[in-house]
Structure 1
């Protein structure tokens, strides 16, 4: 199934992930509604087609040694 890849910053002290950008990973399956190779062009009503994406994948492109802004604000 197709899924989104979320690039972001991972804060090691609090363990939170802050999204910065998102891109789609195409599974290239003919029965996936989100793929560019989907067999049915418009208004797919086929029971055999995948109509949901997989859960997004978090890709930490930055690792921060500080707490995220939400956790810093809660401390005050």
Structure 2
């Protein structure tokens, strides 16, 4: 999960911190519930894209878009 600042005016999201969240699924290689001795080809081997969690919402456009609009 990625915590960050969201700018709804331009739609950009800037990461501020990250943390792991266990899916707790037996068939996921990244889960603490997955058996270390498991060699099954059917287990999930890819992680999903990290979820964006806007902990701050800025009512203005981001700095990058602001610079682009001045050019």
**Coarse TM-score class (shorter-chain normalised):** 0.7 to 0.9
Question: 1:66 pairs with 49, 56, 60, which one?
Answer: 60
2:19 match: secondary structure: strand
What's the RMSD between the two structures over aligned residues? 1.6
Q: Which runs of 5+ in 2 are unaligned?
A: none
Indicate yes or no: 2:50 matched with 1:56.
Answer: yes
Spell out, residue by residue over 1:1-22, the C-alpha distance to the aligned partner (whole angstroms, 9 max, x if none). Answer: xxxx111111122121111111
Please give the TM-score of this superposition, normalised by the length of structure 1.
0.79
1:61 match: secondary structure: strand
Match of 1:28 in 2: 24
Moved over 3 A (4+): none
